Amino acid sequence: MKHYLKVLSVALTCLLLICGMGSEIFAQTTLADVKKNRGLNDDDVLAATKTFMPRGGRDDYFAFVGTGNSGTMIVYGLPSMRIYKYVGVFSPEPWQGYGFDDESTLMLKKGSLDNRLLRYGDMRFPALSETDGKYNGKYLFYSDGANSRIALLGLDDFETKQVLMHPLFLNAFPGVAVTENTEYVIQSSEYPTPWDNKEADPETEFETKFKSGITCWSFQDTQEEAGTGHHIGRMIKENSFTLELPPFTLGYFDTGREASNGLLVGLAAYKDQSYIYVYDINKASKLETIEVHDFMVIPFQVAIDNGVFALIPVDETPHSVKVDPSGKYFITATDDAMVFDFAKVKAALDQKTYTSQSVVNVPTLDEKSLLHGTVKIGRNVIDNAFDYRPNTVYTSAFDDKKVVRWNYETLKVESAIDLTFKPGQLMTPQGNSAEPHSNYLTVVDKEGLYDNMIPIGPARPSYQHLIDISSDDMRDIYTMSLPQSNIYGSVSVLRTTIKPIIRYPLGTNTRTGEISRYKTVAGQEKIEREGNRVHVFGTLIRSHITPEIVEVEEGDVVTFHLTNLERAEDETHGFTVSTYGVHGSFEPGKTASLTMVADRPGVFPYYCTEFCSALHLEMEGIFLVRPKGYVASPETEGEIKLTLEQLAEYKKNYEDKIVVINQTQDVINSVVTYLKDNNYQNYPYVEALVVDALDQLELAKTAKANYERYAAEGKWKDAFLWAEQYWQYQVKTADVGLRAKKLLSEEISK
Amino acid sequence: MKHYLKVLSVALTCLLLICGMGSEIFAQTTLADVKKNRGLNDDDVLAATKTFMPRGGRDDYFAFVGTGNSGTMIVYGLPSMRIYKYVGVFSPEPWQGYGFDDESTLMLKKGSLDNRLLRYGDMRFPALSETDGKYNGKYLFYSDGANSRIALLGLDDFETKQVLMHPLFLNAFPGVAVTENTEYVIQSSEYPTPWDNKEADPETEFETKFKSGITCWSFQDTQEEAGTGHHIGRMIKENSFTLELPPFTLGYFDTGREASNGLLVGLAAYKDQSYIYVYDINKASKLETIEVHDFMVIPFQVAIDNGVFALIPVDETPHSVKVDPSGKYFITATDDAMVFDFAKVKAALDQKTYTSQSVVNVPTLDEKSLLHGTVKIGRNVIDNAFDYRPNTVYTSAFDDKKVVRWNYETLKVESAIDLTFKPGQLMTPQGNSAEPHSNYLTVVDKEGLYDNMIPIGPARPSYQHLIDISSDDMRDIYTMSLPQSNIYGSVSVLRTTIKPIIRYPLGTNTRTGEISRYKTVAGQEKIEREGNRVHVFGTLIRSHITPEIVEVEEGDVVTFHLTNLERAEDETHGFTVSTYGVHGSFEPGKTASLTMVADRPGVFPYYCTEFCSALHLEMEGIFLVRPKGYVASPETEGEIKLTLEQLAEYKKNYEDKIVVINQTQDVINSVVTYLKDNNYQNYPYVEALVVDALDQLELAKTAKANYERYAAEGKWKDAFLWAEQYWQYQVKTADVGLRAKKLLSEEISK
């Protein structure tokens, strides 16, 4: 092999010399040199090429992972495997102000026991919203196993929109599934507990007081608000219902689709015996319910009497059970994989074809008569994933260090890939939907040992591998590190199915999707006091925080309601008050509120915490807490007085800036002419940029009016700062305009 | 170019056919196919090959980044740019139990105002500990700008070891620097505030009551505890001192080295004039101090009288000022880069060669006479970074979208790279030390716009690029996404300089480095009650949490002190109690404590939250909170009673397991024979694995004694579970042994 490499290297070099383009093609060093220096072979080069993302390149898929114990979601791209976001879901996240600003804190508290702010979550198997069994790219759902909460995220802005605490369960399985049109989001308990939250003796009262259950959370989507790209779906507690069950330990579950839509299959254990349960949600949704803790419950006996729930005893404990893309089969992750025929299972349930044995009064079905067949896979099987190829499934065998590709119709093993690690959970893009898509398979590495990975102290990241499954010869092409996580399940969808927004309508409370009552526009900033309650209505825009000084009395309860006035892309501002531990993130258009008790007198600078422009450091102000008993006088608020010398300096700066402004305007004018002359509105992406540019100019009008007014009044500092701000709008406009011009010229030349 | 690609593709194919190895080399599809499918050119393939990390490959460097506003540190590797860790520093982190367990919470509270748990930090420019100006790989320091805290991290386990709140500042510059042998860690204020934390009027009392300052935190390292790899360095508040200054706004600073060691240079602004300050720390450390808030302060006038501080007025506001690797120069990040001669500056300060003008009584030095020279770089220069090449510096020009390489001795521009984005902060591995190292340069992208990067909602990650600077022709080879961060500065060190540990000595409080008083070994688990205070001394080990039931009374204050008994690599256990919002991460050997008020009666499952083995789900127990007034009776604690049928089942399971145990032992014996026969102890890494394996076996002894005892007593469930546990130790031992054997045979065959 070494000899061959040398031959290839020489051959390549010759080839390059022949072509006379060596230095141009292989840059500063040749491919052969890099391979030699880094100890890579041709397989490595091929693998590298499969995952490399050039500047400006976009991934084919988004993937969503629950971190397990950090309570946040990770979003990454395939095939680049770059992580794009951590999003706060079940625990506060300081960078995004999640669980810091009042809006998200209120949402989290509503979704907790006793109105407490829970700071931890255990989330593992997410589900994407579906239309006709296919991912629609609108919402994502997570279950918090530790605290039995459920969360809804919007994928237009990748934010958490709703968190609910289960009114009955004290503990949940950390996964969810949805029905074919997202009518229901399904969550189950994991370890059984009493439902009335009261103590019960686990030894003597286990059978009588401990319960398990399965909940169908009713989900209601709404139309997109015109032109905003903003969807507001919600889980409706009042329309949701829970099936009461004996004290089973419940595990992984999945929903049927097409002919099996409305059926749920999942894992249950009771007294060291494993079962697969079958639950007819459609039929159950029509049964009479009783109210327990203000929640609709189908009593156990009602469910049994109506034949909506049964158990299939199985010899081997499955690690998962998944429904195939067609909805015809469901397959267990067991060493001897069991392929169940959904039609037979449904018929048996409908016709109550029970065996003679029941389990704590739950009827059982006969495994053998429901099987399409079984296939011997390997030792310690962990998970299955489906491919776009007909009837193809991939199965991980932990102890054998391999993933097996097999056909669940013909029950034949087709091929396998030997791995260098013990494989765990599997994921194929869209593999959990009616429309699997991709040539990729991700495999969780359940070890992460030092002889495989980089030494980094006793606590390790999770690792997962990307497998190229595009041909018979499967290849392990990338080892991904997932920090701050304990990865189990994940889901992935075509990137283009998701339609992310760029900005919010001005003044949006992003958690409710509504315009906030605290929305503040430029010039309307104010401070309202009522007793010891102070409301600051402020704005954020390059490069000002208004107001510049907020003066309060020790003991006041102060809320900063801030609105980011920006309309430009990626113009996020952050806000913190020194030593008060508050933080907010304000994306363009967002309004959020930060409340604090001013319990320490002193001078506390506040400032913008995101690099927002070259004048970022100007975005600061002072939170002045006067000692108890001090009465604030309005005239102490305002700007620091300037010396005559400073005033002259600002005047000069102002005049210099006006010159620059005029020059910049010339550039804008020329761009505008070009765009108009070339019918930019015929090119959607170019048009979007122009809209962005025009938004900037609209804002600029106010800045211009301000600098002209302050200049007329001889207030040169303010005049300069507003002129500076006007110029920043101009520059952004020019910048966006030039990008639009470049794109347009490229489009035209095509 | 297209034609050329086709030629190359054909040529390569021919080459492969000639060599007859086509399918073997390029796997399932050819390189040409992948390039065509993914739209990549040869430059992309070369770039991909430069950053790709094959399975088991290790990065050359670790890089450390402050997230800005999430209060956590990010660790990634160069050149793979994979993120390995998020580490909680200034804000709680649920996954690691940071700010959740009592040990880390106590540390965070000690380092805050009023003993509050601050949940947010703003950290940007870290510094690594140094010996003789070179990185020693032992510690890392961060400043929290928002709350003026300072943090120390240990790099043996990548954990935060100390957090201190500044006793005077209410706000700090979010960067630090260290002296040549880490005698001092330096932190300055950013925005001026009064020091007595009392209110003062920013208009009328700015000159008299507002101050700025620079603090030298005294750092004391200790010897490594024998054999543990564990270093315990600490900042000592009592030996630290602050220089009192007029109300300057202070910015980026850097320390001298070699001839300029003990000098500090930094940025200051006062009334719209920019300055570089020079501060002689060596001389200052010998001056008389006064005590303010129990902290040593050098009064302003004392400093001035002794000539330890002066200002250099500059026309252009620098974005940073950095000392070159030799300590001979410091260079400003300005459009006209200023190269100052450190020797001249030191002489001027020593000899008090002041100009006639002073700034609020601070003497000034004359810029022109201190310069080695200036070089015109570009528009809106942001940052500098040094290379291993003599006298070479890289400078980013934001508005020009380029990085310029130039020589600061000859003052000549050498080359530049045009970028597709506006560049911000720069970093070269070890570039901030006396020993710059690498062919890589990272460049922060201050925009992150959608036409360059992937659309992902209004809030974006930070992006930075990896530039290959190995030749004259610099190349942008990778675009990295840094989620949950607002990246500014970073530092990087050779991976091999850091010596991470694999496990802790049993019972370690990882924050203090000492053995915890709550360390609990197997068999010594207990529950202690005193009034309403309950201490649980528990253990975690595959696959048990002991005790299995903890019964308390409503209102009790309960602390779980848990010790992870594991000695194996990567055998972390997590722990949570349902709905109580607590979480701990227990790496092998760690002892940590979780305290909660049992204020809700009920049955709350607790469980291990990390996948730790195939029997992970067995690691659970019950937190039973009896209603107020209930008196716990000791006999209700224990395991759930089994039916005779279950008992027989466990007996059979036990006997089956004993068979497997004997088979596994045969494997171990053969491995041990091989290792001994081949003198494994001569190969350090192999020996480390053997030690790991032996640690496992040592623990296994207890498990074996237990299963034999329980079997003798006819307690078949316990007997089976301990046999299962023994077998898990065996498997781990066998597994590690086999890895050792494989490595050893590879070593021998070399």
When mean pLDDT is compared across A41-45, A270-274, B667-671, the lowest value belongs to B667-671
Scan residues 208-247 of B and list those with Cβ closer than 8 Å to A. 210
Cβ-defined contact of B194 to A480 (cutoff 8 Å): no
Contacts made by residues A225-232, CB under 8 angstroms, sequence distance 24+: A225/A513, A228/A501, A228/A504, A228/A505, A229/A156, A229/A499, A229/A501, A230/A154, A230/A156, A230/A157, A230/A501, A230/A504, A230/A505, A230/A508, A230/A513, A231/A138, A231/A139, A231/A154, A231/A156, A231/A513, A232/A154, A232/A161, A232/A512, A232/A513
pLDDT value for B542: 82
In the sheet with A290-292, reading across from the earlier edge strand, the strands are: A177-178, A184-188, A212-220, A234-245, A295-298, A290-292
pLDDT value for A698: 76
The full DSSP string for B73-111 is: EEEEEETT--EEEEEESSS-BTTTTBTTSHHHHHHHHHT
Alpha-carbon distance values, A34 to A44, A51, A629 (Å): 12, 18, 72
Question: Burial letters for A110-125: b for 16+ Cβ neighbours within 10 Å, e otherwise?
Answer: ebbbeeeebbbbbbbb
Q: List the one residue out of A150, A161, A153, A144 whose CA is nearest residue A106.
A: A161
Block residue for tokens 């693998």: A47
Instruction: Identify whether the C-beta of residue B264 lies closer than 8 Å to the C-beta of residue B281.
Output: yes
* Cis amide leading into A79 (omega within 30): yes
Query: Which stretches does DSSP call E strand in B554-663?
Result: 557-564, 573-577, 582-586, 591-597, 602-607, 620-626
| Maximal C-alpha separation, chain A | 99
- Chain B: give the shortest CA distance to residue A506, in Å: 13
Give CA–CA dist B138/B159, Å, rounded: 11
Q: Residue A126: CB partners within 8 Å, gap ≥ 6?
A: A64, A65, A66, A73, A140, A141, A142, A175, A176, A489, A490, A491
Provide the mean pLDDT of chain A. Answer: 89
Scan residues 615-674 of A and list those with Cβ closer than 8 Å to B. 620, 622, 624-627, 630, 636, 638, 640-641, 643, 646, 649
Chain segment B517-576, per-residue pLDDT in tens: 999 998 889 999 999 999 999 999 887 899 999 999 999 999 999 999 988 888 899 999
User: Which amino acid is located at A363 in the chain?
Assistant: P
Cβ-defined contact of B93 to A484 (cutoff 8 Å): yes
Cβ-defined contact of A46 to B59 (cutoff 8 Å): no
Contact status of A201 with chain B (Cβ, < 8 Å):
yes
With a cut of 90, say whether residue A569 has pLDDT above it: no
| Maximal C-alpha separation, chain B | 99
Give CA–CA dist A691/A688, Å, rounded: 5
Cβ-defined contact of A28 to B470 (cutoff 8 Å): yes
Instruction: List CB contacts (< 8 A) between A465 and chain B.
Output: 55
The full DSSP string for B210-239 is: -BEEEEEEEEE--PPPTTT-----EEEEEE
* Cis amide leading into A547 (omega within 30): yes
pLDDT value for A22: 28
Block residue for tokens 């200054």: B245
Q: Which of B104, B120, B159 to mutate to test the interface with A (most CBs of A within 10 A)?
A: B120
Q: List the one residue out of A85, A724, A732, A727 whose CA is nearest residue B447.
A: A732
A407 burial class (0-12, 13-18, 19+ CB within 10 angstroms)?
Answer: middle
Q: Residue B671: CB partners within 8 Å, gap ≥ 6?
A: B734, B737, B738, B740, B741
Q: What is residue A17's three-state secondary structure?
A: helix
Q: Residue B249 pairs with which residues in a beta bridge?
A: B269
User: Which value, to the nearest 10 degrees, does the dihedral of the CA atoms of residues B384, B387, B390, B395 take?
Assistant: -30
Question: Burial letters for B633-643: b for 16+ Cβ neighbours within 10 Å, e otherwise?
Answer: eeeeeeeeebe
With a cut of 70, say whether residue A73 has pLDDT above it: yes
With a cut of 70, say whether residue A9 has pLDDT above it: no
pLDDT value for A451: 64
Instruction: Identify whether the C-beta of residue B541 lies closer than 8 Å to the C-beta of residue B725.
Output: yes
The two tokens of residue B557 are 């204050």
Give CA–CA dist B123/B105, Å, rounded: 19
Block residue for tokens 């016709």: A351
Question: Which portions of chain B are predicted below pLDDT 70?
Answer: 1-28, 197, 223-231, 448-452, 614-616, 631-642
Host H or E run for residue A274: strand A273-280
0.90 surpassed by pTM: no
Phi, psi for B26 (deg, rounded to 5): -100, 25
Q: Of B70, B92, B470, which has the smallest distance from its Cβ to A29's Cβ? A: B470
Contacts made by residues A267-274, CB under 8 angstroms, sequence distance 24+: A267/A317, A267/A318, A267/A320, A267/A321, A268/A212, A268/A311, A269/A317, A270/A246, A270/A359, A270/A360, A271/B643, A271/B646, A272/B646, A272/B649, A273/A313, A273/A359, A274/A313, A274/A314, A274/A315, A274/A316, A274/A317, A274/A318
Question: Burial letters for A319-357: b for 16+ Cβ neighbours within 10 Å, e otherwise?
Answer: bbbbbbbbbbbbbbbbbebbbbbbeebbebbeeeebbee
Question: Which has more confidence, B735 or A594?
Answer: A594
Contact status of A575 with chain B (Cβ, < 8 Å):
no
pLDDT value for B199: 73
Chain segment A423-454, per-residue pLDDT in tens: 999 999 999 999 998 899 999 997 766 566 78
Give CA–CA dist A600/B422, Å, rounded: 41
Q: List the one residue out of A368, A332, A366, A331 whose CA is nearest residue A348.
A: A366
Residue of chain A nearest B121, judged by CA positions: A581
Q: Residue A558 pairs with which residues in a beta bridge?
A: A534, A596
- Quote ipTM for the complex: 0.87
CA A477-A479-A485 angle, to 5 degrees, is: 145
- Chain B: give the shortest CA distance to residue A637, in Å: 9
pLDDT value for A699: 75
- Chain B: give the shortest CA distance to residue A523, in Å: 23
Give CA–CA dist A364/A296, Å, rounded: 26
Give CA–CA dist B90/B70, Å, rounded: 8
Q: What is residue A661's three-state secondary structure?
A: helix
- Chain B: give the shortest CA distance to residue A114, in Å: 10
Mean pLDDT calculated for residue range A308-327: 97
Give CA–CA dist B619/B542, Å, rounded: 7
Residue-level length of chain A: 750
Pairing of strands B573-577, B582-586: antiparallel
Instruction: Identify whether the C-beta of residue B469 lies closer than 8 Å to the C-beta of residue B460.
Output: no
With a cut of 60, say whether residue A688 has pLDDT above it: yes
When mean pLDDT is compared across A493-497, A732-736, B336-340, the lowest value belongs to A732-736
Give CA–CA dist B177/B266, Å, rounded: 11
pLDDT value for B721: 83
Q: Residue A493: CB partners within 8 Å, gap ≥ 6?
A: A61, A62, A128, A135, A137, A429, A430
Scan residues 509-538 of B and list those with Cβ closer than 8 Å to A. none
Pairing of strands B184-188, B362-363: unpaired
Cβ-defined contact of A25 to B42 (cutoff 8 Å): yes
Give CA–CA dist B227/B77, Å, rounded: 27
Cβ-defined contact of B46 to A34 (cutoff 8 Å): yes
Q: Which of B569, B579, B607 to mutate to test the interface with A (most CBs of A within 10 A)?
A: B579
Structure letter (DSSP) for residue A472: S
The two tokens of residue A610 are 């995101």
pLDDT value for A225: 57
Chain segment A690-723, per-residue pLDDT in tens: 877 777 777 788 889 989 999 999 888 889 888 8
Block residue for tokens 């065998």: A397
Give CA–CA dist B85/B98, Å, rounded: 14
Host H or E run for residue A684: helix A684-712
